[in-house]
Structure 1
Amino acid sequence: MKTKNYLWLFVLITVSIVACKNDTPEVSQKKIDEINLKRGDIISCSPGKEEFGTLEFETSCKGKAKDNFTTAVKMLHSFEYEEAEKMFAKVIDEEPGCAMAYWGVAMSNFHPLWSPATPEELKKGNKALEIAQTIPGKTNREEGYINAIAAYYNNWEKTDHRTRCLKFEAAMKALHSANPEDNEATIFYALALDAAADPSDKTYSKQKEAGDLLNALYTKFPNHPGIVHYIIHTYDSPELAERALPAARKYAAVAPSSAHALHMPSHIFTRLGLWDEGIQSNISSVSSAKCYAEAGGIKGHWDEELHGLDYLVYSYLQKGDNIHAKQQLDYFNTITEVHPANFKIAYAFAAIPARYVIENKLWKEAANLPFHKANFDWEKYQWEKAITHFARLLGSVNTGNLAAAKVELTALQQAQNKLSEQKDAFKSNKVQVQAKAGEAWILFKEGKNDEALQLMKAAADLEDKTGKHPVTPGDVIPARELLGNMLMQMKKSAEALNVYKASLRNTPNRFNGVYGAYTAAKESGNSTQAKEYSNQLIQIAQSTNSDRPEVASVKTFLKG
């Protein structure tokens, strides 16, 4: 009798083991190790508990793995890519057969609105997807998510980033259409639309479609990190920025544990010229980024800190607040090592010092602006490198050294050629704007006014058509503002006034743009508008005790 009972118990145990194996398919540990997943404790620098917003994302993952998966997706929506990957790695350790965890790893290495994924990131994402695609038992919906991001990774060695973004968009559209009640599919489809949007499309067709999708969900799920975050990215343009202001003022409270969430609202504040809000946003972001670098044992500084500093210095300069701008610049000059080394930090290294000297018309310093010593090769970043050459060119032109200016013009033209050869149309156009503007000012100083104006107008038109990169607060100086400056030096103040007005529509409350409009109005005899712009400048510089001569000038005008 005992023998029969033991036999029956053995059968039950065997069946249970088989059932468990069927529920959680075995995945080779060797294959998992080959992904080389980021691992470690999750870093959060918020003063209280970890807060990344709220959402629900149904998957086949179970138990603790399910909860960790949800947290990982929250981080993913706030572009906390490294922390998200570490959390997805936890899910894989807890439940190796959770196919969507590998989807998460691939998404964490995608970062669609930043720089294109590196070869190392593409290899990692591809390996994760290879595992995800072989795991049985996935739902059709899960298959759709995995296949959608696979559309981006497929044939990555031979296909450019933009083409693969378009494929991801098409796949997400299909997933969204097949699962109209799946909020996450809708939200990630909106992100895909933003990633695939053509910067030169001034109808903003994809962004408007994305905005409609997100806004329909925003009232129902106001604390969803992806909804509020992607609304900001969707409307990050002069024509649409006002639509994102409520989301911008909400996002930091939704996900205070994310340094990026603390920074991201400043994109809209910058677009709308709301400098005080931009400053507070980036003070918080930079502080969080410093904490993250220390907690994570990062050698030197984290790239998010430099990103926040770029916006912070820009905002201080637009208030005419040289005291705080110089404090940040002095601190910035102590930084030589940032991780990860990418185009975002290269841009900040070039733009921060260039902005300071150009905004303050420190032409001698601009003419001799050095390349910042950093832990990367400047030759890999031609667009960013061109910013320094452009600052030198403007400095040389304004100090009367046209020979030196022509040397910098040649450097700009060479950078543009390299970017054109790399088929990077956006960055090539950005450098072409600088080259045209620089050449225009050289022609002007040579007395060739008609040629100079024609070329300067072409530079301004190209810049308007190209737009700004979503990572940057703006060009170091708007080309249309430079056109206004040229017209003023040609004593064409009435025409200059119209140009400054057009520039301010794209870059409202810019300190030098407003001052330029004031001087143009005053010199063209339009005292009413001169008074309006002088009051606007005083309002912008209010509470800063600005020592800028422009502020003193408008105050004298108003007293007179």
Structure 2
Amino acid sequence: MTRIPLMLLATMLASAAAAEHDQAHTGAPVDDEQGIGTVAFNADCAEEAQQAFDRALGMMHHMMYVQARGEFDAITEAHPDCAMAHWGVATTLFQPLWATTPSDAEVARAREAIEQARNAVEDEREQALIEATAAFFEPDTDRLWDRLSGWTDGMATAYQAYPDDHDIAALYALSLLTEATQAEDRHALHDEAESILKRVWEEASTHPGAIHYAIHATDADGRAENALEMVESYGKIAPNVPHALHMPSHIYVRLGDWPQVIDWNARSADVAREHDVNGAISFHYIHAVDYLVYGYLQRGEDATAEEIREAAWDVSRHQGSFPGAFHLAAIPARLAVEQRDWEAAADIQPRVPDYIAWDNFHWAEGLSWYARGLGAVHIGDLEAAHEAEQRLAGLAEGAESGPDPRFPVYIEVDRRILEGFIAHAEGDDERAVELMRSAGELESSVEKHPVTPGALLPPYEALGEVLLALDRPDEALAAFERSDSIWPGRYNTLLGGARAAEGAGDPDAALSWAGQLLEVAPNTERDSMEQVRRLGRRG
């Protein structure tokens, strides 16, 4: 096979995806000189500063926090009496949905910016936003939620006073989604956020916050189809903002629409390559690459997925934040586990690259140990599998004091799956099944984190594979059905469903599962497809 140079391949993929996207998505681009959507905050500043502030706020709504901070900074230098520019500097120093804890230096910088904002502010609406951000940075605490709760309360106060302000409404909806990560009844908070954002969008259809946060609001179980029209509009209002080009794929992952996932993330990665952060490529690039690799793996196009990974690894340095660490660990783990290449999985080295502060990122490191353990147990190295399981237990414990209470849950789900495979390998089959089921129940207690397109090996998919190995195809089929209802269109779930249905003596169901997989992965060269093609021919 002729190898295409890696950088050329990445460019070709992005260009092809962009062309396909232009054909698939009708509608003229929004006439927006700044290419970020429409923000009209009318800050209490000089007219020149107002326009610059609107652009910076738009970038913040796109969660391009570093870029927005640079623009807010420039305004404070030119117009030090613009209170909201100082607010913008402080507000971009925390990212509510990403669960990133600001450093001591960032807290100090934010407090200084807040003081400058307070000294300059004369408008009550602006004062409400400044005090909400101040409530995040004022506590002396290492617990992120102790900070976030102050901000969410402050945004509720601002929204009660100014419910018709589009930017306040959008940020308040974001605060509701932030609360939902901690709440027992997260669905009610998503309902309220969806309602507010839909109203803002109906009043201002190119508002970046309304569209972006609505995608986060509907990136949840059973909600993916709620805002498809808004999702489709995002790339049109911000054609050169990498996160805007990536965000629609959150919904298409939920729907198992892999061509769309590939399309959006190829465009996002292409644009994100131009974004530098202190000498490193912005994490928005590797974020898009992980989703892109995931999409190609679900289509069984493994060689393309590997080429994309190699192109990303050719970058000298990636941004070392939590998203960067997560994806640098996830991508090689996905390539091995999705292909069931257990030798490669067992060889994965945790804590690579070494410029990442891995001690801060328990969940990200856990991905490497999870894949390593899965590989070990499947090749019969139970000693290494037990070591990986213990590492996961330690990381889950360490994550208990981390910024996001979901992180230890995610790690524990993976640990139980791995422990289940170990129990099966050791002949304790009922315990294996029990562990897999408990992992599935635990997974349902939290929503998927927005950083990831999906699990390396979901619990019900793993359960189905164990039940197939135990020659219990009827139960296995039920497990694959459950997995597909949560994460539709996954290659290995569909493959398992076809095998289980055939084993259960249900040829119609086997044909249906096989047909779905042939539609999802028409061009795959995986050996596992031969059985599926045989079922298809039989049909």
TM-score (norm 1): 0.87
Alignment of 1:118-133 (within 5 A): 118-119=102-103, 120-133=105-118
Q: 1:73 aligns with which of 50, 53, 57?
A: 57
2:346 is aligned to 367
1:460-506 Cα offsets, whole Å, 9 max, x none, are: 11112133211111111111110111111111110111111111111
Alignment of 1:143-158 (within 5 A): 143-155=127-139, 157-158=140-141
- State how far apart, in whole Å, the 1-side matches of 2:265 and 2:168 are: 31
- State how far apart, in whole Å, the 2-side matches of 1:440 and 1:514 are: 21
Instruction: For CA contacts below 8 A with separation 6 or more, give which structure has more relative contact order.
Output: 2
Q: How far does residue 232 in structure 1 lie from its aligned partner after superposition?
A: 0.3
Q: How far does residue 181 in structure 1 lie from its aligned partner after superposition?
A: 2.3
Query: Is the contact between residue 202 and residue 465 of structure 1 (CA under 8 Å) also seen in structure 2?
Result: no
The AA in structure 2 aligned to 1:81 is Y
Q: How far does residue 49 in structure 1 lie from its aligned partner after superposition?
A: 5.9
Aligned length in residues: 505
Structure with greater Cα Rg: 1
- State how far apart, in whole Å, the 2-side matches of 1:261 and 1:183 are: 19
Query: Is the contact between residue 238 and residue 272 of structure 1 (CA under 8 Å) also seen in structure 2?
Result: no
1:228 is aligned to 211
Alignment of 1:430-445 (within 5 A): 430-445=410-425
1:317 is aligned to 297
Check if 1:553 corresponds to 2:531: yes
Check if 1:95 corresponds to 2:79: yes
2:441 is aligned to 461
- State how far apart, in whole Å, the 1-side matches of 2:301 and 2:209 are: 34
Check if 1:492 corresponds to 2:472: yes
1:238 is aligned to 221
2:333 is aligned to 354
Query: Is the contact between residue 94 and residue 102 of structure 2 (CA under 8 Å) also seen in structure 1?
Result: no
Q: Which runs of 5+ in 1 are unaligned?
A: 1-47
Query: Is the contact between residue 316 and residue 325 of structure 1 (CA under 8 Å) also seen in structure 2?
Result: yes
Query: Is the contact between residue 458 and residue 483 of structure 2 (CA under 8 Å) also seen in structure 1?
Result: yes
The AA in structure 2 aligned to 1:277 is Q
Q: How far does residue 55 in structure 1 lie from its aligned partner after superposition?
A: 2.1
Query: Is the contact between residue 229 and residue 264 of structure 1 (CA under 8 Å) also seen in structure 2?
Result: yes
Question: Residue 323 of structure 2: SS of its match in structure 1?
Answer: helix
- State how far apart, in whole Å, the 2-side matches of 1:83 and 1:123 are: 20
Q: How far does residue 318 in structure 1 lie from its aligned partner after superposition?
A: 0.6
- State how far apart, in whole Å, the 2-side matches of 1:145 and 1:558 are: 59
Check if 1:173 corresponds to 2:152: no
The AA in structure 2 aligned to 1:474 is G
Query: Is the contact between residue 207 and residue 234 of structure 1 (CA under 8 Å) also seen in structure 2?
Result: yes
Check if 1:58 corresponds to 2:42: yes
- State how far apart, in whole Å, the 1-side matches of 2:354 and 2:77 are: 37
- State how far apart, in whole Å, the 1-side matches of 2:413 and 2:183 are: 14
Query: Is the contact between residue 440 and residue 452 of structure 1 (CA under 8 Å) also seen in structure 2?
Result: yes
Query: Is the contact between residue 52 and residue 71 of structure 2 (CA under 8 Å) also seen in structure 1?
Result: yes
Farther-moved stretch of structure 1 (443-452 vs 367-376): 367-376
Query: Is the contact between residue 258 and residue 296 of structure 2 (CA under 8 Å) also seen in structure 1?
Result: yes
Question: Residue 349 of structure 1: SS of its match in structure 2?
Answer: helix
Q: How far does residue 260 in structure 1 lie from its aligned partner after superposition?
A: 0.8
The AA in structure 2 aligned to 1:278 is V
Alignment of 1:403-482 (within 5 A): 403-422=383-402, 424-482=404-462
The structure 1 segments of at least 4 consecutive aligned residues displaced by more than 6 Å after TM superposition are: none
- State how far apart, in whole Å, the 2-side matches of 1:403 and 1:158 are: 40
Check if 1:267 corresponds to 2:254: no
Task: Summarize the Cα distance change of 1:144–1:379 in structure 2 as closer, same or farther, 3 Å threshold.
Answer: closer
- State how far apart, in whole Å, the 1-side matches of 2:344 and 2:204 are: 50
Question: Residue 65 of structure 1: SS of its match in structure 2?
Answer: helix
C-alpha RMSD over aligned residues: 1.8
Task: Summarize the Cα distance change of 1:503–1:199 in structure 2 as closer, same or farther, 3 Å threshold.
Answer: farther
1:25 is aligned to none
- State how far apart, in whole Å, the 2-side matches of 1:247 and 1:307 are: 22
- State how far apart, in whole Å, the 1-side matches of 2:271 and 2:85 are: 27
Check if 1:276 corresponds to 2:256: no
Query: Is the contact between residue 221 and residue 447 of structure 2 (CA under 8 Å) also seen in structure 1?
Result: no
Q: How far does residue 351 in structure 1 lie from its aligned partner after superposition?
A: 0.7
Query: Is the contact between residue 473 and residue 500 of structure 2 (CA under 8 Å) also seen in structure 1?
Result: yes
- State how far apart, in whole Å, the 2-side matches of 1:262 and 1:497 are: 36
- State how far apart, in whole Å, the 1-side matches of 2:159 and 2:85 are: 20
Check if 1:344 corresponds to 2:329: no
- State how far apart, in whole Å, the 2-side matches of 1:173 and 1:200 are: 16
- State how far apart, in whole Å, the 2-side matches of 1:423 and 1:436 are: 22
1:26-57 Cα offsets, whole Å, 9 max, x none, are: xxxxxxxxxxxxxxxxxxxxxx9640111211
1:375-394 Cα offsets, whole Å, 9 max, x none, are: 22323322111111111111
1:219-254 Cα offsets, whole Å, 9 max, x none, are: 221111111111001111131111132222111111
1:511 is aligned to 491
Question: Residue 241 of structure 1: SS of its match in structure 2?
Answer: coil
1:116 is aligned to 100
- State how far apart, in whole Å, the 2-side matches of 1:107 and 1:377 are: 24
Query: Is the contact between residue 336 and residue 374 of structure 1 (CA under 8 Å) also seen in structure 2?
Result: no
Q: How far does residue 288 in structure 1 lie from its aligned partner after superposition?
A: 0.7
1:14 is aligned to none
Task: Summarize the Cα distance change of 1:421–1:160 in structure 2 as closer, same or farther, 3 Å threshold.
Answer: closer
1:211 is aligned to 194
2:88 is aligned to 104
1:262-315 Cα offsets, whole Å, 9 max, x none, are: 11111111111111111011111111111223xx7x534221111111100000
Q: How far does residue 507 in structure 1 lie from its aligned partner after superposition?
A: 0.4
Q: Which runs of 5+ in 2 are unaligned?
A: 1-31
The AA in structure 1 aligned to 2:334 is R
- State how far apart, in whole Å, the 1-side matches of 2:528 and 2:255 are: 22
TM-score (norm 2): 0.90
- State how far apart, in whole Å, the 2-side matches of 1:470 and 1:478 are: 16
